[in-house]
Amino acid sequence: MNEEHGIGKNIADMTVLITGASRGIGADTALRFAAVGMNVVIHYRNSLEAANEVARRCLEVGGKAYTVAADLRSKEQILRMKERLDHYGLHPDILVNNAGISHYGLLSDVAEEEWDDVMNVNLKSVFMCSQLFMPYMIRQRFGRIINVSSVWGISGGSCETVYSAAKGGVNAFTKALAKELAPSGVTVNAVAPGAVRTEMMERFDEGELKQLEEEIPAGRLASPQEISSLIYFLALPESGYITGQIISPNGGWIT
């Protein structure tokens, strides 16, 4: 099955690695893949209890779930994560680079350490994970790399200059790597959501959220499920002709 797309296994037999999957978009994406019976690797940094809860829910819906810890700012820890997966025979066919941290504040107040931290988590980790896991995809002539970006990586956000720069880098990385890997049957795309109801929105009070919703033509924030459904679609073997795209589900906020 799926021979025309360069791979002979069903999606249920594939393995997906989702970084930052202990909550929010990452957690819902894990459940989305688990529902079709996939091997789902749930990466987390500190939230072991939350990651185990996501794994439990993945098992409930019929998937096979594994948890793995790593600080994605550290190449050494990413290498150890890969070694652990290799030990269990888990070679990701699909990589979802979802882990990220937000940053809000005037650029004039940003310390160099803050800049480095945002860049390392949001951009450098995408480079390191992609570089490490794509050789297996290239060898089998099938793979999916899906980077979770942001609408601010497209348009830029006031008081979110550092975050916008990191996500803009993710978008450029996505377009360039897509061209590099296309001859090998590996697609690279980015999902750049607008405002989504996740923990990243907790700094807004209800009044600010209401004002934000009024700015969005759809009149509301997205749910994590609406983002994970797009990630899942891009991972399908049938989506093999979609590559190098930055797709922004944002309710018409930015067009």
Q: pLDDT by residue (tens digit) across 101-158? A: 999 999 999 999 999 999 999 999 999 999 999 999 999 999 999 999 999 999 999 9
Which of 66, 136, 163, 232 does the annotation list as catalytic? 163
Active site includes 163?
Answer: yes
pTM, whole model, 2 decimals? 0.94
In this prediction, residue 7 has a pLDDT band, given cuts at 50, 70 and 90, of low
pLDDT of residue 57: 98
pLDDT of residue 90: 97
How far apart CA 169 and CA 190 sit, in angstroms, is 11
Domains of the chain: 11-247 (3.40.50.720)
Give tens-digit pLDDT for 143-154. 999 999 999 999
Residues 6+ apart with CB under 8 A from 69: 43, 44, 45, 46, 48, 51, 81
